[in-house]
Amino acid sequence: MDLKRKTYKIESNNCTRMINWGIIGCGNVTEVKSGPAFNKVNESKLIAVMRRDASLAEDYARRHNVPKFYSNAQDLINDKDINAVYVATPPGSHAEYAIASIKAGKPVYIEKPMAVNYAECQKINEAGEKYKVPVFVAYYRRALPGFLIVKDLIDNGSIGKVLFVQMQLFKSPSEDEKAGKLPWRVDPAISGGGHFFDLASHQLDYLDYIFGPINKVKSIVLNQSGLYKAEDFVSAEFVFNNGIAGTGTWCFSGSLESDRDTIEIIGDKGSVRFSTFSFEPIILTNSKGRQEFINERPEHVQYNLIEMIVKTLNGNGVSPSTGISGARTSRVMEEIVGEYYEGVT
């Protein structure tokens, strides 16, 4: 399947419709980051949620004023009032629920990473192509104002010709991890990998948005803490199709004092530095000196992307994040950690 750049654009018929959403998996990510945004975006409404524990689904529906709740995903998918589905479960069930929604003719918005592995991403996209149903992935930094500032600075030549990118993301283990109470995010069968899959996916996808696909990868992947089987240290070198080079170091076993979150893009006339998760000010340095730009965290970080998806579904826009771009990110992550998992049982 061709995984070059592709966006979904639905031709406008000079009318709009209400996009009635159903959420499969109303866990923590939906409480603030995404869930409330579905009711705040124009031409969008959240009308049903699903969680296997019916009492938790009912509690979520009550607190967020959602009319319906289910404990079975297929019941939500079959609801005739729902015309779009947000799959917000852990990645291990993304493909199952996304493909079921696609077969029902309902566009899907899938939490990141898109699936537990690249092969499942391909299956989702193949279903989307077969049934002519759009697929979107929750890489919302492609639509956040602060990250669009960074893209604009690069596109308008503020740092000249881009030469290379360097990333560092260090995050200390949680107390639960130290105590052996492991979250699903470090269970590769559910998440696809460790914290690298959960967090680096945002960074790699955003760089794909700015520079296009990565075509070459070299890496060192280790588990240094012994707290779980998933990787907790990754060092990678990569090259984009356009010749821009990149390096990244991700460590999830260090001390709290060593925590950091930086991406720096270096050009032949300057550099731009920013954070991925902490929303620190964006720093531009070039011949004009040092400038700071505010990178404000919105109340609901997925609002902007959801708004663009709703416009796309109504023929009034083009979403920057699709199943095609989401699959590319999963492919790169899999290439980075693949050799490590060949030796993990």
pLDDT in tens, 267-294: 999 999 999 999 999 999 999 999 999 9
Residue 343 pLDDT more than 80? Answer: no
Q: Does 314 map to a domain? A: no
Q: Does 57 map to a domain? A: yes
Residue 51 pLDDT more than 90? Answer: yes
Is residue 217 domain-shared with residue 274, that is, in the same domain? yes
Where a domain ends, among 281, 297, 313? Answer: 297
Is residue 200 domain-shared with residue 109, that is, in the same domain? no
Is residue 200 domain-shared with residue 273, that is, in the same domain? yes
Cβ neighbours of residue 206 under 8 Å, at least 6 residues apart? Answer: 139, 141, 142, 147, 276
Structure tokens at 307: 């708004």
Is residue 135 domain-shared with residue 49, that is, in the same domain? yes
The number of beta carbons lying within 10 Å of the beta carbon of residue 287 is 7
CATH number at residue 59: 3.40.50.720
Task: Output the DSSP codes for 135-200.
Answer: EEE--GGGT-HHHHHHHHHHHTTTT-SEEEEEEEEE-PPPHHHHTT---GGG-HHHHSSSHIIIII
Is residue 115 domain-shared with residue 194, that is, in the same domain? no
Q: Does 339 map to a domain? A: no
Portion of the chain with pLDDT greater than 70, in percent:
95
Is residue 262 domain-shared with residue 181, that is, in the same domain? yes
CATH number at residue 210: 3.30.360.10
Is residue 159 domain-shared with residue 289, that is, in the same domain? yes
- Give how many domains the chain has, as a whole number: 2
Is residue 134 domain-shared with residue 42, that is, in the same domain? yes
Structure tokens at 188: 């590769």
Query: What does the pLDDT average to over 16-33?
Result: 95
Query: What does the pLDDT average to over 323-338?
Result: 97
Q: Does 329 map to a domain? A: no
Which pTM does this prediction carry?
0.94
SS3 category, 210: helix
Portion of the chain with pLDDT greater than 90, in percent:
94
Residue 228 pLDDT more than 60? Answer: yes
Residue 142 pLDDT more than 70? Answer: yes
Distance CA 123, CA 35 (A): 26
Range of the domain at 89: 19-140
Q: Does 316 map to a domain? A: no
Q: Does 218 map to a domain? A: yes
Distance CA 86, CA 98 (A): 9
Residue 5 pLDDT more than 70? Answer: no
Is residue 182 domain-shared with residue 99, that is, in the same domain? no
Is residue 121 domain-shared with residue 186, that is, in the same domain? no
Distance CA 295, CA 302 (A): 15
Is residue 158 domain-shared with residue 257, that is, in the same domain? yes
Q: Give the residue from 270, 268, 274 showing the smallest Cα distance to 292.
A: 274
Is residue 54 domain-shared with residue 165, that is, in the same domain? no
Distance CA 134, CA 83 (A): 12
pLDDT tens, residue by residue, 158-204: 999 999 999 999 999 999 999 999 999 999 999 999 999 999 999 99
